[in-house]
């Protein structure tokens, strides 16, 4: 198993949401540093968007399936704000470094083109 991060994009560039699912299984449950790092980055981005921007979002979290889905509620009409975009790009930068350091066996990041957000 691995962590799969899917970034939903409209017009190949406009981020309108993301999904994180799975477990890295790099280490025992509760001691898996890859899962811990991913979780920290993802929740920090979500919490930062809620606390530091006016960007409306909704998210769902299922800890048993290791699944987090975050949607930008205005993305179907507008591009997300610069502050939210910077926070998401920062999250993705951190996640890509984890992927580079630990390998795609444990974490994989993909973009998915969507028509509607």
- Residues in Cβ contact with 83 at an 8 Å cutoff, skipping those fewer than 6 apart: 49, 52, 53, 55
Residue bearing tokens 């949401």: 17
Q: Which of 35, 70, 97, 117 is catalytic?
A: 35
| Boundaries of domain holding 98 | 3-113
pTM comes to 0.92
Query: Does residue 12 contact residue 117 with C-beta atoms inside 8 Å?
Result: no
* Span 66-76, pLDDT tens digits: 899 999 998 87
Count of structural domains within the chain: 1
pLDDT value for 32: 95
Q: Which two tokens stand for residue 77?
A: 């009409």
Contact predicate 95/38, CB 8 Å: yes
Q: What is the pLDDT of residue 101?
A: 97
CATH number at residue 108: 3.30.70.1490
pLDDT in tens, the chain (117 residues): 899 999 999 888 899 999 999 999 999 988 999 999 999 999 999 999 999 999 999 999 998 778 999 999 988 778 889 999 999 999 999 999 999 999 999 999 999 999 876
Question: Does the annotation mark 23 as catalytic?
Answer: yes
Residue 42 near residue 57 (C-beta atoms within 8 A): no
CA distance 46 to 102: 24
Give me the pLDDT at residue 1, please. Answer: 80
35 is catalytic: yes
Annotated catalytic residue, options 23, 70, 97, 117 = 23
């Amino acid at each position: 198993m691995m962590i799969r991060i899917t970034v939903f994009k409209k017009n190949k560039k406009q981020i309108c949401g993301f999904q994180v699912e799975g477990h890295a299984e790099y280490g025992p449950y509760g001691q898996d540093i890859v899962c811990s790092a991913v979780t920290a980055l993802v929740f920090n981005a979500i919490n930062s968007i809620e606390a530091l921007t006016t960007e409306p979002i909704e998210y769902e979290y299922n800890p048993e399936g290791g699944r987090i889905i975050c949607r930008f509620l205005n993305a179907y009409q507008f591009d997300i704000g610069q502050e939210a975009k910077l926070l998401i790009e920062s999250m993705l930068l951190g996640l890509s470094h984890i992927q580079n350091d630990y390998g795609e066996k444990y974490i994989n990041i993909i973009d998915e083109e969507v028509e509607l957000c």
